[in-house]
Structure formats: C-alpha cells, structure tokens
Amino acid sequence: MTVRLIACLLLAAPLLGGCLSDRTFGESLDDSSAATEIKTRLFGAGGFGRFGEVDVAVVDKFVLLSGRVPTDADRKDAERIAWQVASVDEVANELQIEKWDIGRDMNDSWITEQVRLRLVADNDIKGTNFNIQVHNSVVYLLGTARSEEELRKAAEHASLVNGVQKVVSYVKMRERGSPPPDISVAAAPPSDQLGQPVPVDDTQGAIRIAPPAAAPAPITGPVSQPTTRGQYTDPYAPGAAPPPGATNNSINLLQSSPLPPPRERQ
C-alpha cells in the first residue's frame, strides 16, 4: 500500500504543475510518466550509489539529465537508459563527474528557490512553463516560452541570482496554438529607479526575494546540442566498444539491445 501511495505522489506532483501550465493534461501525463520511468530504470540499474544524484526533467518529450555521477561510464549509461523509454524524442546530457558535496547541494537548492521566486513574481512570465535544475551553481532552464521576450526575461532573472555561475537555456518557443489566458499568481516585485528588483519586506510574513547579484551571470545555450533518436549511437550495440566497466554489469537494462527506429514527428 505504501509503495503504491509513493508512486502515485511521484506521478501526481509534476501533473499538478502541468495543469497550471500551457501544456495539456495529456502532455503533462506523458512527460511525467517518462520521467518516472527513467528514474525507476536508473535506480534499478545502479541504485543510489550510481544515479542517486541524477535529476531527470522531461518537457514535451525532451529529457534533461543533470546532476552528478561517479564515473564517465555512469554518465553514458544514464543517457542510454533514458533512450530506452519509447516516448523520448531528445536527450540533453548535462551530467557532471564529481564527488558528493553537501555544501554545494544546499547552495544549489537555495539558488533553485530564488530563481523560482523571481519567475513566479514576474507577471510577464508564466513560471509554471519552466523547469529549473541547478547543479554546481549552473542554472539549467527547460520548458516552453510563449514569446522571445518571455524566454529572454526568464534567463535574465536566473542570471541575477547571487552565486549563479552560468545560465544554460534549453527553453523552446511554443508552436502549438494560442496559450490559455494568464492567471497571475503573484505580484511583480518592487523595483528601484534602474528597474532592478529590491528585497521585499518580510516583516508581515511576505516571501523575501534576495537582492540581485552585482553583475549578471552569462547566459548561454547548451555546449553540445541535445541528441535526437536518429543521432544517438548505442554504446552497447553489437560491434560497438562498450564504455569502461560495462563488462561488470549484471543488470539486464544495460545489455545489448537494438534501439527502435527513429520516430517521425507529426
């Protein structure tokens, strides 16, 4: 019973956010199911020791893998496991090979909350359309924007948070139909004469948004472009040189199996 409850909560949490975004319930369900399946497969393949710090975000069949893994072999395995989910069309692998650091993780969590607060507090941005991942002070934005101005402003908000080293945007322009009317969920933060946000007085219980950084962090696109299903090369395919450590894997998920043919976009 407990296992079923946890599974339902894991699936329902992203759906609640999806209901407030411009995506349909079906789109949110597909993406949430894909993310849950990838996480389940990762845990089954290596448990917490290998993939416990891998963050999986899925928006519009686009998968972003971010976080930390112990080895380069684990980094490759994580991407291969993501491609085993049939509904996935693209995978961006931003996994870093690093050791666990609690101080770094706490700082990343603080940055995540500050970026989220800035997006939600801006009435010109629909914050529920954006997924925020932060690792080692690098902010990864994933989602769909309704306009180029919204895309730009979201990245700029992230770049102003203290401690952010870089903002990498995977946000795409939404091409399907007209989005539903906006629902304002928070008032825009007060600003000074230069248009910069100022701290909110939280003496009455208001949420405090930290002051902006002295200089904005650089905003970039991905260093390497995401891989599509037609471009991906399976490192475990027959005849391919497997990554280091592959011969020691006894998990069925990591054995050679042909990838399905590329799917044509509708």
Query: Which pLDDT band holds residue 232 (cuts at 50, 70, 90)?
Result: confident
**Intervals of CATH 3.30.1340.30 along the chain:** 2-100
The reported pTM is 0.67
Fold of 2-100: Histidine-containing Protein; Chain: A; (3.30.1340)
Yes or no: say if 50 and 64 are a contact pair by the CB < 8 Å rule.
no
Q: What is the pLDDT of residue 191?
A: 57
The one-letter code for the residue type at 202 is: D
Residue 101 pLDDT level (bands cut at 50, 70, 90): confident
The CB density around residue 80, as the number of other CB atoms within 10 Å, is 22
Please say if the pLDDT value at position 243 is more than 80.
Answer: no
DSSP codes of every residue in 15-40: HHHHHHSSS-HHHHHHHHHHHHHHHH
Is pLDDT at 160 greater than 60 in this prediction? yes
Q: Positive or negative CA dihedral for 144, 161, 136, 52?
A: negative
Q: What is the pLDDT of residue 100?
A: 77
What average pLDDT does range 251-255 have in this prediction?
Answer: 38
Least confident stretch, 115-119, 149-153, 247-251: 247-251
In this predicted structure, the answer to whether residue 113 has a pLDDT above a threshold of 80 is yes
pLDDT band at 47 (very low <50, low <70, confident <90, very high): confident
**Pairing status of strand 54-59 against strand 62-69:** antiparallel
What does the pLDDT read at residue 212?
84
pLDDT exceeds 90 at position 223: no
Q: Is 71 in a helix, a strand, or coil?
A: coil
Range name among 42-51, 166-175, 197-206, 223-232 with the lowest pLDDT average: 197-206
Please state which of the ranges 25-34, 93-102, 255-264 shows the lowest mean pLDDT. 255-264
Q: What would the mean pLDDT of 258-264 be, rounded to a whole number?
A: 57
Answer whether 64's CB lies under 8 Å from 94's CB.
yes
Per-residue tokens: 195? 């248009």
- The mean pLDDT of 216-242, rounded to a whole number, is 75
Number of neighbouring beta carbons within 10 Å of residue 96: 13
Burial tier of 77 (Cβ tally within 10 Å: 0-12, 13-18, 19+): buried
Determine the pLDDT at residue 20: 53
Residue of 47 and 84 predicted with greater confidence: 84
